[in-house]
């Protein structure tokens, strides 16, 4: 006989789980006992939110489901933010929570929270396991749902007495989910219609979204893009899905995108949206977005098609299958009808690039510019390694200035915009890809929200570089106050507490600081030489630097603010 | 705006009603009426959901509903005469109840 807890751990092993990020507590305690004998590595985090984001970082770089575990009540509610983050960014995540014993459920017992109810809107699916015999089937289903179709988070809530009860373990051979639709193959007629539309377009733009990375379709995207010759924009969730140094790459579109990416979309006569969802951060004012463009919209989730923008050619399917089929269909069209001439369009797009490139000025003796710091990291990384960010100005600068060569090497919190994402997500990314250098680019506001995970990284000997672009402010909020609130700075100043070098040292990490431009390269070199523990670098950057371009919220993408001297 | 009636087959599992109701609330859709009942198959329940919507959100509602793992099948019933008559009858009964209630409330107040 086995206990429910043993059945749970054996189920996780059978599901191929290598690592679990979690924190034990009363209700989940039985599950922690068999972990001692299990080959699964458990990483003891310092906060459940950190466990959830670490599992997300792991999932983003490996493509496998990330797993986090927490106890009932506050342990479980601390997972709400990572679950919501994973839901928004379609990250495969399985969260296992302990629950109070069955007889106590509904009685407001100690550490009771209806976590399945609380997380219903932010999970792809959830389970309350009331019979230990169900554990293997539920775990198998949870991993299937989390990782197939449009990936997402699945919560499995298990009462303590279900974990303690005797049961039998049998890993299911089939999965019975009659209401769960398998991924459809793209409709061949729609693929042909799309290819014809692409052939006849004069100003096409490929709008690549996170779905490309989720379905591991970067190679297909490259093949398709080169077949069409069209410009490619990669959203924040798709950074690295197309090589930044490729001549067809225009970089990130949207609110803080490159002018060329924003404007090419605005002027285009055909948007080819691949695994993207016409998010407001990309479209700006929806009614004014790409007014002359027809739309081919391919997505695995039929509910995304037509949600924000009507599609002329909707294609439901997995990006890998869709983009591969589109590449073949376009090649076939070209073979029959001859090549498509986009020379006029490219001379226009090259003009956008030439007129308004990304720019900043680093004076030799002036204050340290955050873009310069990121630029130097970019030079040191040379397209390799993994870059993880928090949320805010530093995130947008990272997306603008860090050039990516490989897919799944840029990890960020997009849809939910979760400050505090970087440190735990970088930790998880390093666990998922131990052979790769991991750099977290963070802000001082973000860093303080989850800095406790430095302890986890130090104890677990997880080396990574954490670059704090410390402008002593909630920088993006301050920027909005500068631009839209008459420079009335309400509650955005973060005085220089703590001392991040001392804090890093207190956690058993290396702490470094750079205050002048000439300090930057030596400090990065030093940090990259450390391979046995995390290294935190406090970059004291100019608090007045603003992130441009910006399309103000609710404005048309025709109204790009380029910043001082950017015209 | 037009009235639509969705006939939805769902797995008879705990929380299904909460998932459906939560979806409507979260995405800002309004339900006019909702009823849930058993089918001949004990594993499957049947929901009838009446909505007043434009055609565009209706398509979104159906697609989002379809994504719920426990939802098996959705049919958008046209606003048939027969159903309309039945709904009218229910509404008439409700109206009578509403007319009766102030009287009964008043009598409670007096007896208390």
Q: What is the ipTM of this complex?
A: 0.91
Name every chain B residue with its beta carbon within 8 A of the beta carbon of A102. none
- A181 interfaces chain B, CB cutoff of 8 Å: yes
The answer to whether A449 touches A474, Cβ cutoff 8 Å, is no
* Residues whose CB falls within 8 Å of the CB of residue A73, separated by 6 or more in sequence, listed in order: A27, A100, A110, A111, A112, A113
Count the neighbouring beta carbons within 10 Å of the beta carbon of residue A245: 9
What distance in Å separates the CA atoms of residue A261 and residue B103, rounded to the nearest whole number?
68
DSSP E strands: which ranges in A111-246? 125-128, 153-159, 166-167, 204-208, 232-234
* Residues whose CB falls within 8 Å of the CB of residue A417, separated by 6 or more in sequence, listed in order: A391
- Model pTM above 0.90: yes
Q: How many helices and strands (H and E) does chain A possess?
A: 23, 20
* Residues whose CB falls within 8 Å of the CB of residue B25, separated by 6 or more in sequence, listed in order: none
- A297 interfaces chain B, CB cutoff of 8 Å: no
CB distance B22–A178 less than 8 Å?
no
- B63 interfaces chain A, CB cutoff of 8 Å: yes
- Which of A116, A179, A306 is closest, CB to CB, to B11? A179
CB distance B69–A180 less than 8 Å?
yes
Looking only at the bridges linking them, the beta strands covering A386-389 and A438-443 are parallel
Tokens for A16, please give them. 């191929």
- A301 interfaces chain B, CB cutoff of 8 Å: yes
Tokens for B100, please give them. 């009766």
What distance in Å separates the CA atoms of residue A275 and residue A273, rounded to the nearest whole number?
6
The DSSP annotation for A281-344 comes to: HHHSSGGGSSTT-EEEEEES-GGGTTTSS--SEEEES-HHHHHHHHHHHHHHHHHHH-----HH
Q: CA end-to-end span of chain B, whole Å?
A: 46
* Phi-psi category of residue A517: left, alpha or beta, with phi > 0 → left and psi -120 to 50 → alpha: alpha
The answer to whether A159 touches A130, Cβ cutoff 8 Å, is yes
What distance in Å separates the CA atoms of residue A444 and residue A169, rounded to the nearest whole number?
48
The edge-to-edge listing of strands for the beta sheet with B71-77 is B31-38, B44-53, B2-11, B71-77
The per-residue pLDDT string of chain A (567 residues; one tens digit each, 9 = 90 and over) reads 899 999 999 999 999 999 999 999 999 999 999 999 999 999 999 999 999 999 999 999 999 999 999 999 999 999 999 999 999 999 999 999 999 999 999 999 999 999 999 999 999 999 999 999 999 999 999 999 999 999 999 999 999 999 999 999 999 999 999 999 877 899 999 999 999 999 999 999 999 999 999 999 999 999 999 999 999 999 999 999 999 999 999 999 999 999 999 999 999 999 999 999 999 999 999 999 999 999 999 999 999 999 999 999 999 999 999 999 999 999 999 999 999 999 999 999 999 999 999 999 999 999 999 999 999 999 999 999 999 999 999 999 999 999 999 999 999 999 999 999 999 999 999 999 999 999 999 999 999 999 999 999 999 999 999 999 999 999 999 999 999 999 999 999 999 999 999 999 999 999 999 999 999 999 999 999 999 999 999 999 999 999 999 999 999 999 999 987 544
What are the phi and psi torsion angles at A19 (to 5°)?
Answer: -145, 140
| Residue of B15, B24, B62, B69 for testing the chain A interface, max A β-carbons within 10 Å | B69
């Amino acid at each position: 006989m086995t206990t429910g807890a043993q059945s749970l751990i054996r189920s996780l092993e059978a599901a191929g789980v290598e690592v679990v990020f979690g924190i034990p507590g009363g209700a989940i305690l039985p599950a922690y006992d068999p972990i001692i004998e299990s080959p699964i590595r458990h990483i003891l985090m310092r906060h459940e939110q950190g466990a959830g984001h670490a599992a997300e970082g792991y999932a983003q770089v490996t493509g496998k489901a990330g797993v986090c575990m927490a106890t009932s009540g506050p342990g479980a509610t601390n997972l709400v933010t990572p679950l919501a983050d994973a839901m928004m960014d379609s990250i495969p995540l399985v969260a296992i929570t302990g629950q109070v014993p069955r007889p106590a459920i509904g009685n407001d017992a100690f550490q009771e929270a209806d976590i399945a109810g609380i997380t219903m809107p932010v999970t792809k699916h959830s389970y309350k396991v009331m019979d230990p015999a169900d554990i293997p089937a539920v775990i198998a289903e949870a991993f299937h749902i989390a990782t197939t179709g449009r990936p997402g988070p699945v919560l499995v809530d298990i009462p303590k007495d279900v974990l303690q009860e005797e049961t039998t373990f049998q890993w299911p051979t089939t999965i019975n989910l009659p209401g769960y639709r398998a991924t459809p193959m793209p409709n061949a007629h729609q693929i042909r219609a799309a290819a014809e539309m692409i052939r006849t377009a004069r100003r096409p733009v490929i709008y690549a979204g996170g779905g490309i990375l989720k379905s591991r379709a970067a190679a297909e995207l490259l093949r398709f893009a080169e077949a069409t010759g069209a410009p490619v924009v990669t959203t924040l969730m798709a950074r690295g899905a197309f090589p930044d140094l490729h001549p067809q790459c225009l970089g990130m579109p949207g609110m803080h995108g490159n002018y060329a990416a924003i404007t090419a979309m605005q002027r285009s006569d055909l948007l080819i949206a691949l695994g993207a969802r016409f998010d407001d951060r990309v479209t700006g004012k929806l009614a004014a977005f790409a007014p002359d463009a027809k739309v081919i919209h391919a997505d695995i989730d039929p509910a995304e098609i037509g949600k924000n923008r009507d599609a002329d050619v909707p294609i439901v399917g997995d990006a890998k299958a869709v983009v591969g089929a589109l590449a073949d269909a376009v090649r076939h069209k070209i073979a029959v009808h001859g090549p498509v001439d986009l020379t006029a369009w490219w001379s226009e797009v090259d003009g956008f690039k030439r007129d308004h490139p990304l720019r900043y000025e680093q004076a030799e003796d002036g204050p340290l510019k955050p873009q310069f710091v990121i630029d130097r990291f970019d030079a040191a990384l040379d397209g390799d390694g993994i870059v993880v960010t928090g949320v805010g100005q530093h995130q947008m600068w990272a997306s603008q200035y860090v050039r990516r060569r490989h897919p799944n090497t840029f990890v960020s919190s997009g849809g939910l915009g979760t400050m505090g994402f970087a440190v735990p997500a970088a930790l998880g990314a390093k666990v998922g890809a131990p052979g790769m250098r991991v750099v977290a680019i963070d802000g001082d506001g973000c860093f303080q929200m989850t800095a406790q995970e430095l302890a986890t990284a130090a104890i677990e000997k997880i080396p990574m570089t954490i670059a704090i672009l410390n402008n002593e402010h909630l920088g993006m909020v301050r920027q909005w106050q500068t631009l839209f609130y008459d420079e009335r700075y309400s509650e955005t100043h973060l005085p220089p507490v703590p001392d991040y070098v001392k804090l890093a040292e207190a956690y058993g990490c290396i702490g470094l600081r750079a205050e002048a431009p000439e300090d930057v390269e030596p400090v990065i070199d030093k940090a990259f030489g450390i391979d046995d523990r995390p290294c935190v670098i406090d970059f004291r950057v100019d608090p007045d630097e603003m992130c441009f371009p910006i399309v103000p919220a609710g404005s048309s993408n025709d109204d790009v603010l380029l910043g001082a001297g950017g015209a | 705006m037009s009235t639509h009636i969705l006939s939805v087959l769902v797995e008879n599992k705990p929380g299904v009603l909460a998932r459906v109701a939560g979806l409507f609330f979260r995405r800002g859709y309004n339900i006019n009426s909702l009823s849930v009942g058993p089918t001949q198959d004990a594993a499957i329940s049947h929901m009838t959901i009446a909505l007043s919507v434009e055609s565009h959100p209706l398509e979104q509602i159906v697609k989002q509903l379809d994504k719920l793992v426990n939802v098996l099948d959705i049919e958008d019933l046209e606003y048939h005469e027969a159903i309309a008559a039945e709904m009218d009858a229910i509404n008439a009964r409700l109206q009578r109840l509403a007319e009766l209630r102030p009287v009964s409330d008043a009598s409670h107040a007096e007896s208390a």
